[in-house]
Chain A
């Protein structure tokens, strides 16, 4: 079953010296449970593609269907509603809320959808990433690897159908990065969750079912 389908996707922005094409006529389809890696040099448009597929941004042209929802036809709040229940994120810079504890950060997506058992589910999820002891710590009191594991717990706690990860190891040393990636693939397998992984690390890409290469805004 296809859960993501991008048709003739283009993104152009108004840069300082005229229009700039970041994505050019990209087509892509992803099946449920499938893992796809997008690799390519820095500045080739990987993050832009990810933001469009996940509904964080709007394409200039083209269609995106995410879990039968035509994202290109929805407004920001419509896309937010899709994200809230179906999608998980892991970012290069972790993006935990600095004011909230590890547990509260994990609870956040559940609370946004007003789930009654937010706390116990979040506790369970934290336990799964091995951070039960750090529940009440603030992000600033955690190391980079620990922060990214909290981010993983937060991403999976809603049982998403697809996980978007943008350079999840970019801010981590190699050993820590490997551990985080191993955890991510384990959890993905357990949740039968599709994955769109943006990276420039070939080793990481090789763990996916399919590898796509991005070159100056075009997929090959």
Chain B
């Protein structure tokens, strides 16, 4: 009385699968799963490669796997601890100093004294002649030798072989540094670099008492050894020691890439969501078939366990096949992604690991479980008496249950894809809302068409009228895919172009920073001499916001994470007597030119985010002092102008006495080539940054990123086509019946073909029109209201969308429904019984 052995279920399931695999429902199911797996794994493989590249790169950014730094000399205990963990170690000591050339000119340098093993990761690149091709250093500088920053070479007129006085030593310039892996700190503040060997350190006599040196212990080795070492360092509980590993190395780059990964993940997720709809539609048809099959099997004596097993086995095999094919496609597709985004990476991307395959398989399993399971398990439960009474009402799974379990599966998947629950929920809500909107729109348009008196329209709508729901599903599904693609095409072409064109010809193309107070007048006359006009040098003071009124920062709680970070670290303040013409005071009033009060002017959005209000008293910590003042006005700033701007500007009375450097943005004509070199030569401490190439890089990267996301959205369009096919298939049985009746009534095959073709043309037009129009509307909204630029209607894109709609739906729908026509009426009737 026991159930049949498992082998029986396997054999039967396998045969059934072999037979039924040719059925279009199964093909749609398989394709939809393959598609989700491909979308998920392509992004997964790509992200995997990027992550591997990043951790490899991050290691070179530290020149080690981890670094312990301290204001005091690294003790032997600490380095012994590292050695005890089988880690390779070396030390680095950094401090400021002054060097003299033969002529007696001096320059401030940032000295870095390195141990013999430096660097543990990455390489130092050197050149013998300024700006000549560089090569990798094979050792650290020898005794009595130093490597120097080309900037120092410019200011002290040094070449390789020249002598230099460094503390009590006389050293020789052995090479120019063209790349230094662990260049720490921010570019703005740094004096030119000089690298020397630890073997000279004592003799140089530079490490006296107030030497402001920073000591580092670099370590490298096996991951778990590094982790163990970290734990031991943490256990020492020494407030002076700061431990930094690769992950903490470069948060900015990491978060930028995390965002891209998230966007790609979202694009893949939309494809998965839509494929889910196709899976659900196909599963419904398969379940209907299974109801009869399982009733017959059970009548023959199959136990319910056997029947359930057969269903599960079949699904498992389908999931496996989909996972394998999908992963292969995903693997191939990620090459395109990597090529599209190649410019982001300095180094070649390493090959991916197989970890993303787990994601692919779980994607197939989850989608099947979520969308198929309720339908198919219900089919298994169909009453056995159905073999006698086919008309017996069958229990279909409630649509709500299917949707709920499908969504639950999708949430799990999305969470995995974007690692962000809220984002996933928002995406599902968004997609559902858009789909519902599209569905309503198409219902509305169909209803409108029905009212029309035009005989052409009425006849074209004749088929659509008979199945408005199925048609609306087709339109909604296909439009979502099309809409996603069109929107990205618009972002890529219209929005980015608009933005780039909006930058005026004579917008500043250089930033000049770190101008010392005594250099302000010479720099000004240098600029005048070179015909560079219209630029102001703004004082820049580093400070940290300590408290607003009497509330210390960090206690109030910020709505915006960015604002919190903003106020927790040093940022730049400036002072100004007269208001700037490009800043608009939006609340309060600008101060009189000769005021002696301590007042602040705060940028509007910054004030809002940090919770600063007009009349508040702000306390800043600048150097070692506290500077306080009242907020007397709020300003609106046009950040897009590339002019120098500050969140907080004070009165001269408030800030003039504080240590400041100066900053400016300038426009230098393209042909002024020697400009940068001359600045560096004349003002070695000044750093010049070119904005032009930065803008180009930013728009280039944005364009590429949009293209990559659009590429992934390609999967979405295909998923839309699959839903369309599934919906057409679902209506095919009904169509068979309809056609048979029409044929017996004497309709010619040609007449039926024409009316079917017209029906799909109409559906295609509807879907293209809706998607195109929404895309154009969104683009207009973004350009006009978010970017505040003028939008130019893109007729070509609009028409392309409509044509794509008509083309896609007509081809898919017509091809799938054609077999209906080629059947003879008799066979149509027979297959009904």
User: A84 CA to B1 CA in the complex, in Å?
Assistant: 10
Q: Contact between B4 and A112 (Cβ–Cβ < 8 Å)? A: yes
User: A95 CA to B7 CA in the complex, in Å?
Assistant: 24
Expressed in whole angstroms, the minimum distance between the Cβ of B724 and any Cβ of chain A is 26
Q: List, sorted by A's number, 13 A–B pairs whose CB atoms are closer than 8 Å.
A: A57-B384, A78-B1, A81-B301, A83-B300, A89-B299, A93-B390, A99-B16, A111-B8, A112-B297, A112-B300, A114-B7, A140-B831, A154-B300
Q: Tell me, yes or no, whether A113 is within 8 Å of chain B by CB.
A: yes
Mask: chain A, 108-137; 1 = CB below 8 Å from B; 0 = not: 110111100000000000000000000000
Contacts of A112 in B (CB 8 A): 4, 8, 12, 297, 300-302, 306
Q: Contact between B12 and A111 (Cβ–Cβ < 8 Å)? A: yes
Mask: chain B, 289-314; 1 = CB below 8 Å from A; 0 = not: 00011001111111111100000000
Q: Tell me, yes or no, whether B792 is within 8 Å of chain A by CB.
A: no
Please report the total number of B residues contacting A with Cβ < 8 Å. Answer: 35
User: A47 CA to B389 CA in the complex, in Å?
Assistant: 8
Contacts of B304 in A (CB 8 A): 76-77, 80
Residues of chain A from 91 to 107 with CB closer than 8 A to chain B in the complex: 91, 93, 95-97, 99-100, 104
Q: Tell me, yes or no, whether A25 is within 8 Å of chain B by CB.
A: no
Q: Contact between B296 and A113 (Cβ–Cβ < 8 Å)? A: no
Contacts of B305 in A (CB 8 A): 77
Contacts of B303 in A (CB 8 A): 77, 80-81
Q: Tell me, yes or no, whether B738 is within 8 Å of chain A by CB.
A: no
Residues of chain A from 116 to 164 with CB closer than 8 A to chain B in the complex: 140, 154
Contacts of B383 in A (CB 8 A): 57
B→A interface (CB under 8 Å): 1-5, 7-8, 11-12, 15-16, 19-20, 292-293, 296-306, 383-385, 387-390, 831, 833
Residues of chain A from 28 to 83 with CB closer than 8 A to chain B in the complex: 47, 50-51, 56-57, 76-78, 80-83
Residue of A nearest to B5 (CB): A114
Expressed in whole angstroms, the minimum distance between the Cβ of B145 and any Cβ of chain A is 82
Contacts of A111 in B (CB 8 A): 8, 11-12
Q: Tell me, yes or no, whether A27 is within 8 Å of chain B by CB.
A: no
Q: Contact between B387 and A171 (Cβ–Cβ < 8 Å)? A: no
Q: Contact between B300 and A109 (Cβ–Cβ < 8 Å)? A: yes
A91, A97, A104, A154: most-surrounded residue (chain B CB, <10 A): A97
Q: Contact between B301 and A109 (Cβ–Cβ < 8 Å)? A: yes
Given A77-B3, A111-B11, A113-B4, are A56 and B387 also a contact pair (CB < 8 Å)?
yes
A77, A80, A85, A100: most-surrounded residue (chain B CB, <10 A): A80
Contacts of A57 in B (CB 8 A): 383-385
8 closest residue pairs by CB, A with B? A84-B301, A99-B19, A83-B301, A77-B303, A109-B300, A81-B1, A56-B384, A47-B388
Q: Contact between B388 and A50 (Cβ–Cβ < 8 Å)? A: yes
Contacts of A93 in B (CB 8 A): 390, 833
Q: Contact between A56 and B300 (Cβ–Cβ < 8 Å)? A: no
User: A67 CA to B388 CA in the complex, in Å?
Assistant: 22
Q: Contact between A114 and B299 (Cβ–Cβ < 8 Å)? A: no
Residue of B nearest to A167 (CB): B388
Given A85-B301, A108-B297, A108-B300, are A76 and B8 also a contact pair (CB < 8 Å)?
no
Q: Contact between B302 and A97 (Cβ–Cβ < 8 Å)? A: no
Residue of B nearest to A155 (CB): B300
Residue of A nearest to B8 (CB): A114
User: A114 CA to B301 CA in the complex, in Å?
Assistant: 12
Expressed in whole angstroms, the minimum distance between the Cβ of B295 and any Cβ of chain A is 8
Contacts of A100 in B (CB 8 A): 15-16, 19
Expressed in whole angstroms, the minimum distance between the Cβ of A98 and any Cβ of chain B is 8
User: A166 CA to B306 CA in the complex, in Å?
Assistant: 26
Residue of A nearest to B11 (CB): A111
Given A100-B19, A114-B7, are A80 and B301 also a contact pair (CB < 8 Å)?
yes
B11, B306, B383, B385: most-surrounded residue (chain A CB, <10 A): B385
Contacts of B11 in A (CB 8 A): 111
User: A96 CA to B7 CA in the complex, in Å?
Assistant: 23
Contacts of A81 in B (CB 8 A): 1-2, 301, 303
Contacts of B3 in A (CB 8 A): 77
Q: Contact between B299 and A56 (Cβ–Cβ < 8 Å)? A: yes
User: A181 CA to B1 CA in the complex, in Å?
Assistant: 33
Q: Contact between B388 and A104 (Cβ–Cβ < 8 Å)? A: no
User: A115 CA to B298 CA in the complex, in Å?
Assistant: 17
Given A77-B3, A113-B4, A114-B7, are A83 and B390 also a contact pair (CB < 8 Å)?
no
Q: Contact between B15 and A104 (Cβ–Cβ < 8 Å)? A: yes
Contacts of B300 in A (CB 8 A): 83-84, 89, 108-109, 112, 154
User: A214 CA to B289 CA in the complex, in Å?
Assistant: 33
User: A85 CA to B306 CA in the complex, in Å?
Assistant: 16
Expressed in whole angstroms, the minimum distance between the Cβ of B224 and any Cβ of chain A is 52
Given A113-B4, A114-B4, are A80 and B298 also a contact pair (CB < 8 Å)?
yes
